[in-house]
């Protein structure tokens, strides 16, 4: 058993009595009431999920295992010469809740490196897909195609004690995470670089190998580390995490579950917003035909978009009520590495004008920018201008969060998810009686 799996086994043994006690002694304690508005409004604010991997406070933003983003970036071990922590050390934190030592982090890297080889049939499948296929479709198909490798399925078919479900779930998750960055880079090189694939370098950490396979030089390796960490998790109620959790709750294996989560991420109200921000900005620049945008000009385009019934991508959030700290973390990277980038300046300009306009428009509960407002511009700066690829990178990061969540779901024996539906007649009846 790997060092991380052993530590996880200990953590699970320590945690299980807590969940058991809550269920046995406090199952009837109320967490809140559900209103008609919430039932018709996508369940916003309904407390019905439990995860310890991350927590999203509307004002403060995300904490991973209790640590804020600046704390994570400061405390986690880094690869030699890197400014940002390696993804491997972050995975240890997500899985165990502990800050790993440099040695722990290297043990994870070794564990991943034996699992990184991508089956040839996956590469061939991707090569055969029409080149106008969206890269998120290619990505999700690649994950689904590997489902035949699932250890969970094999163990389940043989008969397995429920208490052991987490073990092959963990093994499948490690297999997937080890391969995802290379699969993403292959998709990029197939779709946008005429199939000129770059072979992986398994001696590198995840961030550095991804940069290498994308054909990028430092500091892109650090950007990849930052990007994957920031996009990993946002509690378990966001659409990609929830879709993964829901599918996994049927005891479908991690391949089926993650593929479902990636499909949710591909929606424009969720992860696809990262491509939409750049699409929107480039469209503005093209319309201006050489005229330098000013704040006044930006305001006009923002209003035009709103008045035509569309959303301003990269702004607003279902939970957050302040600027997303993931936006700030990427902005810091920009200020250090690309302060004079033209598109970065336009993104900053949007930060100055959009919140006031959204407030005046009066609909969005949160007028502030989310993670997607800032992430595309950095990729653009490093020459990755094919913005429909951005959500694939988001997906590599998101896999870290959703897979650690479903390992713990299985460890704590969370059951099949099955909330109750009502009919509109019933709602009307309840509303009448409440008068």
The residues carrying an active-site annotation are 270, 317, 372
What are 7's two structure tokens? 């530590």
| CA separation for the pair 327, 103 (Å, rounded) | 31
Q: Is 365 in the site for ligand HAX (CB under 6 A)?
A: yes
Nearer to ligand HAX, 219 or 316 (CB): 316
Nearer to ligand HAX, 78 or 322 (CB): 322
Q: Is 242 in the site for ligand HAX (CB under 6 A)?
A: no
Q: Is 264 in the site for ligand HAX (CB under 6 A)?
A: no
Nearest distance, CB of residue 99 and ligand HAX, angstroms:
27
Nearer to ligand HAX, 247 or 266 (CB): 266
CA angle at residue 261 from 221 to 138, to 5 degrees?
Answer: 65
Which of 282, 311, 349, 413 forms a contact with ligand HAX (CB under 6 A)?
311
Nearest distance, CB of residue 6 and ligand HAX, angstroms:
34
CB-based burial, 325-340: b 16+ in 10 Å, e otherwise: bbbbbbbebbeebbee
**In sequence order, what are the beta bridge partners of 369?**
315
- Whose CA is closest to 156, among 248, 243, 242? 248
Nearer to ligand HAX, 136 or 153 (CB): 136
What are 72's two structure tokens? 């994570």
CA neighbours closer than 13 Å in the CB half-sphere of residue 299: 10
Nearest distance, CB of residue 43 and ligand HAX, angstroms:
11
- According to DSSP H, which parts of 231-341 are helical? 239-248, 254-265, 273-288, 295-307, 325-337
| CA separation for the pair 228, 290 (Å, rounded) | 35
Sorted by sequence, the CB contacts under 8 Å of residue 325 that are 6+ apart come out as: 60, 61, 62, 68, 69
Nearer to ligand HAX, 178 or 347 (CB): 347
Which of 152, 315, 346, 390 forms a contact with ligand HAX (CB under 6 A)?
315
DSSP state of 163: G
Q: Is 370 in the site for ligand HAX (CB under 6 A)?
A: yes
Q: Which span (70-78, 264-272, 375-383, 401-409) binds ligand HAX, by CB under 6 A?
A: 264-272
What are 48's two structure tokens? 């019905």
DSSP state of 138: H
Nearer to ligand HAX, 191 or 270 (CB): 270
Which of 32, 127, 363, 427 forms a contact with ligand HAX (CB under 6 A)?
363
Q: Is 364 in the site for ligand HAX (CB under 6 A)?
A: yes
What are 338's two structure tokens? 């690309």
Nearest distance, CB of residue 49 and ligand HAX, angstroms:
16
Which of 174, 243, 312, 384 forms a contact with ligand HAX (CB under 6 A)?
312
Q: Is 372 in the site for ligand HAX (CB under 6 A)?
A: yes
| CA separation for the pair 376, 384 (Å, rounded) | 9
Q: Is 205 in the site for ligand HAX (CB under 6 A)?
A: no
Could you give phi then psi for residue 238, rounded to 5 degrees? -65, 160
Which of 269, 288, 427, 431 forms a contact with ligand HAX (CB under 6 A)?
269
Nearer to ligand HAX, 252 or 357 (CB): 357
What are 377's two structure tokens? 């511009």
Which of 106, 241, 273, 407 forms a contact with ligand HAX (CB under 6 A)?
273
Nearest distance, CB of residue 254 and ligand HAX, angstroms:
21
Distances (CA, A) of 8 to 36, 64, 110, 229, 292: 40, 17, 17, 20, 54
3-class SS letters over 210-238: HHHHHCCCCCHHHHHHHHHHHCCCCCCCC
Which of 168, 237, 314, 397 forms a contact with ligand HAX (CB under 6 A)?
314
Nearest distance, CB of residue 348 and ligand HAX, angstroms:
17
Positions in the binding site for ligand HAX (CB under 6 A): 44, 238, 269-271, 273, 306, 311-318, 363-366, 370-372
């Amino acid at each position: 058993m790997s060092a991380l799996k052993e530590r996880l086994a200990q953590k699970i043994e320590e945690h299980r009595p807590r969940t058991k006690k809550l269920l046995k002694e406090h199952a009837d304690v109320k967490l809140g009431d559900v209103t008609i508005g919430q039932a018709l409004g996508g369940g916003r604010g309904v407390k019905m999920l439990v995860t310890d991997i991350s927590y999203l406070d509307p004002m403060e933003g995300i904490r991973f295992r209790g640590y804020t983003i600046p704390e994570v970036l400061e405390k986690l071990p880094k690869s030699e010469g890197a400014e940002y922590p390696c993804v491997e050390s972050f995975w240890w934190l997500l899985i165990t809740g502990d800050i790993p030592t440099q040695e722990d982090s290297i043990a994870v890297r070794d564990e991943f490196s034996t699992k990184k080889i991508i089956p040839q049939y996956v590469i061939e499948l991707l090569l055969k897909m029409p080149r106008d296929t969206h890269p998120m479709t290619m990505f999700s198909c690649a994950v689904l195609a590997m489902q035949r490798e699932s250890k969970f399925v094999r163990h389940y078919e043989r008969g397995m004690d429920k208490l052991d479900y987490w073990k092959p779930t963990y093994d499948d998750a490690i297999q997937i995470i080890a391969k995802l960055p290379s699969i993403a880079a292959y998709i990029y090189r197939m779709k946008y670089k005429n199939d000129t694939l770059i072979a992986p370098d398994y001696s590198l950490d995840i961030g550095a190998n991804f940069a290498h396979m994308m054909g990028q030089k430092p500091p892109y390796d650090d950007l990849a580390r930052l990007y994957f960490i920031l996009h990993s998790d946002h509690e378990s109620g966001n659409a990609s995490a929830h879709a993964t959790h829901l599918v996994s709750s049927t005891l479908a294996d991690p391949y089926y579950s993650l593929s479902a989560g990636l499909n949710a991420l591909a929606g424009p109200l969720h992860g696809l917003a990262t491509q939409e921000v750049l699409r929107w900005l480039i469209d503005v620049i093209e319309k201006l035909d050489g005229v330098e945008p000013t704040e006044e000009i930006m305001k006009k385009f923002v209003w035009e978009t709103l008045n035509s019934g569309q959303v301003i991508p990269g702004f607003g959030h279902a939970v957050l009520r302040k600027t997303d700290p993931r936006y700030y973390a990427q902005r810091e990277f920009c200020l250090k590495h690309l302060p004079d980038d033209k598109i970065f300046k336009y993104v900053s300009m949007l930060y100055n004008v959009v919140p006031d306009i959204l407030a005046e428009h009066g609909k969005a509960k949160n007028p502030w920018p989310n993670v997607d407002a800032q992430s595309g511009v950095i990729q653009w700066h490093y020459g990755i201008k094919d913005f429909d690829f951005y959500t694939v990178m988001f997906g590599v990061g998101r896999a870290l969060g959703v897979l650690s969540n479903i390992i713990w779901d299985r460890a704590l024996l969370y059951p099949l998810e099955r909330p109750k539906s009502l009919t509109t007649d019933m709602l009307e009846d309840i509303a009448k009686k409440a008068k």
